[in-house]
Structure 1
């Protein structure tokens, strides 16, 4: 499939925002009772604001994927059958939850745990809707797996926790840095196992169709010499990335390096040296790697129609 950068930015930005909110809410439930109440509320407010900005940027990016942005509201009308429609509904509700939760922290409300619980459920629902847009496409074997949902969840939470660690250091919450960093390390390792499993699975896939089944001719030796028309078409533009196998391999190794070992090294160095610079490097490298990972996720999916449109004459 042809990767769309609008969708790449959408999924990586909102994933980091969702992971960040889980980190904030987890801190409110377990860690902030040991810190100054006013400082804790300020941290939760500013963290919610960052998550809201990231989600808003992702929403803005998604509009560049629309041919007629003024008709965007129609994408929510098929919510009974379409995961995309459900995502369109879940995203603004999650943003509303972030707004209410952050406002409650800013105003000093004491009963914010129920608001956080609702927002956490909305965040989880958004993860499911986003991932199922792709996992439910059965004819794209690379996506049609429970690992797609697991990877979206783990990668988003890993990047969100890395960001939360950075924010804790920048906003004067040093007590939160070690637990956040350790959680980010653990989730990054889990994400590495999950993403590695999907790569191994996809490498072993065998196409369910063939050139013979694509054109309805059962002769054992068929070689396609031309596409059938002179130039490209919607099919060749939208359902094939047009890049070489060598580039795909390069992008795969780039994202594996940037998303997993380099951030882990930076987080470990940050824990040992108490350096904010290493935390900034960890998040920056991991997010850049996630952009490459998401590009590879789309490019690796092999649409069955490519069996027919193999060669452009």
Structure 2
């Protein structure tokens, strides 16, 4: 397939926003349960953190409009929500953004009434921000699922049609969000949360390496259901295409193939494998040992650049069956 940078930025930027919110709320839950020391100024920490998550989500939403031929008709995408994962994503994303805004607003304004407490000794207070955060967490994972299923449900694109697609979207987005949260905790001066976010950023990055590697191995071993023989109904073992049937290009030749060489595809694969996984882990490990904000910020920047390459490769690797006809250009 021909990768569209609008979709690449939509999925990577929104993934960072989702992962950052999940990191913020997870840190709050651990702090409320007194497993971790919380930040002294919760209004500044969670309010500003939510704003940063919203900026990433908003940038992703803005990028999606460049993928529309008629942006003024974009609202119609919600019409098929019963059957379309794209429609569900269009509904869930702004709803998730609204909930992240509400979560940050509750912290920033301090209007955070306690509804009840759990435990006789721990006295875990369940306040408004905890409830809003729990609901927002459900929407965060629903958005990961909806985004991944847009591609995983297309059965004739066999590289995408796998549960690993949804898993990788979830893990890669979460890893990038926790990596950003690590740098954010260092900036805010929260050493307890810094180590917590950093450890989980490394764990999620390693987990995503395992699942993304599994998808690469799976895709390399795919036996395609459609072949030249099945396409034209001829069972002969040696069939060669000499022409695509016409001289000029078309929508099909532009949008369903990336027009890159095998060497280029191989180089992009190794670029993202290096930038998304080992380099950020090394920078996180070094940054955590010295609480160096520069190293932690570099870890996020490098990982995000690698995610752009990873998402480009994800789209380009999908081999549309129509290329059986248009393979000779």
TM-score (norm 1): 0.97
- Counterpart in the other structure of 1:23: 23
- Counterpart in the other structure of 1:132: 149
- Counterpart in the other structure of 2:269: 252
Per-residue Cα deviation, 1:256-287 (whole angstroms, up to 9, x for no partner): 00000000000000111221111011000000
- Counterpart in the other structure of 2:118: none
- Aligned counterparts, 1:66-85, within 5 A: 66-85=68-87
Alignment equivalent of 1:52, drawn from 40, 43, 54: 54
Count of aligned pairs:
312
Contact 1:215 1:308 in 2 (8 A): no
Contact 2:14 2:56 in 1 (8 A): yes
Q: What is the CA distance between 1:48 and its match in structure 2?
A: 0.5
1:143 aligns with 2:160: yes
Secondary structure of the corresponding residue to residue 41 of structure 2? helix
1:214 aligns with 2:231: yes
Q: What is the CA distance between 1:37 and its match in structure 2?
A: 6.4
- Counterpart in the other structure of 1:152: 169
- Counterpart in the other structure of 1:109: 111
Measured in 1, the distance between the counterparts of 2:233 and 2:54 equals 51
Per-residue Cα deviation, 1:131-187 (whole angstroms, up to 9, x for no partner): 000000000110000100100000000000000001111122222111110110011
Task: Identify which range, 119-128 or 27-36, moves more after superposition.
Answer: 27-36
Secondary structure of the corresponding residue to residue 300 of structure 2? helix
- Counterpart in the other structure of 2:135: 118
Measured in 2, the distance between the counterparts of 1:86 and 1:300 equals 25
**Structure 1 segments of 4+ aligned residues over 2 angstroms from their partners:** 31-38, 215-221
Measured in 2, the distance between the counterparts of 1:221 and 1:188 equals 44
Gaps of 5+ in 2: 113-126
- Counterpart in the other structure of 1:190: 207
Measured in 2, the distance between the counterparts of 1:275 and 1:47 equals 19
- Counterpart in the other structure of 2:322: 305
- Counterpart in the other structure of 2:289: 272
Measured in 1, the distance between the counterparts of 2:152 and 2:307 equals 18
Gaps of 5+ in 1: none
Cα RMSD (Å) of the superposition? 1.2
Measured in 2, the distance between the counterparts of 1:52 and 1:26 equals 17
Contact 2:31 2:38 in 1 (8 A): no
Contact 1:140 1:301 in 2 (8 A): yes
TM-score (norm 2): 0.93
- Counterpart in the other structure of 1:94: 96
Q: What is the CA distance between 1:221 and its match in structure 2?
A: 2.3
Contact 2:37 2:193 in 1 (8 A): no
Contact 1:18 1:160 in 2 (8 A): yes
Contact 1:157 1:187 in 2 (8 A): yes
Measured in 1, the distance between the counterparts of 2:235 and 2:210 equals 41
- Counterpart in the other structure of 1:163: 180
Measured in 1, the distance between the counterparts of 2:238 and 2:171 equals 44
Measured in 2, the distance between the counterparts of 1:153 and 1:35 equals 27
Measured in 2, the distance between the counterparts of 1:27 and 1:109 equals 20
Secondary structure of the corresponding residue to residue 19 of structure 1? helix
